[in-house]
């Protein structure tokens, strides 16, 4: 088992009990990787903070929606500690952590419900904050194919969000990604993927650009080669490149470069953007469900339905290659004690099935009322 030794050294795995009562939908980290938000089918969101030893502690947990929470995402810390969530219950919500003084006059941090964005008539599938140079903006996409852009005109008052734009995609949307480029020649850009199952419906990835003149978003590009349902897509951090890099998770993993439209004339875009596929990997034997870039945009990570996670990297010639793999083992943990790398946290979950235990910090709304006593006990003397 010499090989195993080498393995221990290279990887370290820590197991964390999420304490969620159902499977997770999304995990999101703040800008520094110091805080984590998890959301689950159990309708709640939990906030985790990491301590100096790298251990995660759940510091807040509350019920956010009345149905499964699909996505959770952090705003840039410039705007404070702000979260956005979206759910099957057709809403997206904004949450802010504020310091309050509790009854024993100690300061306490609580998450306050700021606003619910209720414009959607169907399930809101994804929610993403715009890169910070565009101000405090938020994009949502819903399963009936409408993308909505919201903006908070006053960043100090998050209870007021105005709906800036509504874009009709005419096809069920599953994911979106803002282009993070801060280059002044690059127009604000959003990529949207569709999970529409029919492969005859044409391209499933759309690129939208914001035009300053018309103050509107318009579709500038459809990646026609992507005819399979798209589960996730993500722009890479732009490193002063002239083109953008977009990773798309569909049946396979695709990586595209997108040349933005030239707007030297700054009138209605001169040439439309063009795209080029730089990598296409079929290593996942089934659907790819998730893609993510690391901070420096050098490694992309893709997760498949088959329990495999692959890491990809381009060498300096721009040739993409697989550099790592994580695999899930479903076998029962009979030899749990033997691998010392896994810190097993197998303490049984406290057995309480009722959801009343969730604390809610919803501003303006009364806490859930106590269940009335059964009438036959009402007058009893104890």
Q: Extract long-range pairs of 31-35: CB within 8 Å, 24+ residues apart.
A: 31/74, 31/76, 31/77, 32/77, 35/74, 35/81
171 CB-near residues (< 8 Å, 6+ apart): 145, 194, 196, 201, 204
**Interface with another protein (CB under 8 A), residue from 16, 112, 134, 171:** 16
Q: Which of residues 313-372 bind another protein (CB under 8 A)?
A: 314-318, 323-333, 336, 339, 342, 348-349
Q: What distance, in Å, lies between the first and last C-alpha atoms of the chain?
A: 66
**Interface with another protein (CB under 8 A), residue from 186, 308, 359, 360:** 308
**Interface with another protein (CB under 8 A), residue from 119, 132, 203, 272:** 132
- The mark string for 85-114 relative to another protein (x by CB under 8 A, - otherwise) is ---x--------xxx-------x-------
Q: What is the CA 251 to chain-centroid distance, rounded? A: 20
Window contacting another protein (CB under 8 A); options: 185-193, 206-214, 307-315, 357-365? 307-315
- The mark string for 186-205 relative to another protein (x by CB under 8 A, - otherwise) is --------------------
Q: What is the CA 195 to chain-centroid distance, rounded? A: 16
178 CB-near residues (< 8 Å, 6+ apart): 128, 129, 130, 131, 134, 139, 188, 189, 190, 235
Nearer to another protein, 331 or 369 (CB): 331
77 binding another protein? (CB under 8 A): yes
Tokens standing for 369? 């009322």
What does the alpha-carbon distance between residue 58 and residue 38 come to, in Å, rounded to a whole number? 10
Q: How far is the CB of 213 from another protein (least distance, A)?
A: 25
Q: Which of residues 238-297 bind another protein (CB under 8 A)?
A: 238-240, 242-243, 257, 278, 289-290, 292-297
Window contacting another protein (CB under 8 A); options: 29-37, 110-118, 163-171, 370-378? 29-37
Q: 291 forms bridges with which residues in the sheet? A: 302
């Amino acid at each position: 088992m010499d090989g195993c030794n080498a393995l221990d050294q290279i990887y370290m795995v820590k197991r964390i009990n999420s304490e969620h009562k159902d499977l997770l939908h999304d995990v999101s980290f703040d800008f520094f990787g110091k805080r984590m938000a998890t959301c689950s089918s159990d309708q709640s969101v939990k906030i985790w903070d990491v301590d100096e030893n790298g251990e995660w502690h759940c510091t807040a947990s509350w019920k956010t929606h009345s149905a499964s929470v699909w996505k959770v995402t952090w705003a840039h810390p410039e705007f404070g500690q702000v979260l956005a969530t979206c759910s099957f219950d057709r809403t997206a919500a904004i949450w802010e952590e504020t310091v309050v003084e509790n009854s024993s006059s100690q300061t306490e941090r609580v998450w306050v419900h700021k606003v619910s964005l209720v414009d959607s008539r169907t399930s809101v599938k994804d929610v993403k904050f715009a890169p910070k140079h565009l101000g405090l903006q938020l994009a949502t996409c819903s399963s009936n194919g409408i993308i909505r852009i919201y903006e908070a005109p006053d960043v100090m008052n998050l209870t007021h969000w105005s709906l800036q734009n509504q874009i009709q995609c005419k096809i069920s949307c599953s994911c979106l990604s803002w282009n993070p480029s801060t280059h002044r020649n690059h127009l604000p850009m959003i990529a949207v993927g569709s999970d529409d199952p029919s492969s005859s419906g044409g391209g499933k990835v759309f690129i939208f650009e914001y035009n300053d003149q018309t103050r509107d978003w318009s579709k500038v590009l459809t990646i026609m080669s992507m005819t399979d349902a798209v589960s996730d897509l993500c722009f890479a951090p732009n490193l002063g490149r002239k083109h953008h890099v977009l990773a798309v998770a569909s049946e396979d993993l695709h990586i595209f470069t997108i040349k933005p439209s030239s707007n030297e004339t700054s009138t209605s875009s001169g040439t439309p953007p063009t795209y080029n596929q730089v990598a296409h990997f079929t290593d996942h034997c089934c659907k790819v469900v998730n893609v993510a870039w690391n901070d420096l945009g050098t490694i992309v990570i893709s997760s498949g339905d088959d329990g495999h996670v692959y890491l990809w990297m381009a060498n300096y010639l721009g040739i993409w290659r697989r550099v790592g793999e994580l695999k899930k083992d479903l076998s029962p943990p009979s030899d749990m004690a033997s691998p010392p790398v896994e810190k097993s946290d197998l303490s049984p979950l406290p057995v309480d099935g009722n959801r009343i235990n969730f604390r809610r910090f919803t501003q303006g709304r009364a806490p859930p009322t106590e269940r009335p006593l059964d009438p036959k006990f009402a007058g009893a003397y104890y």
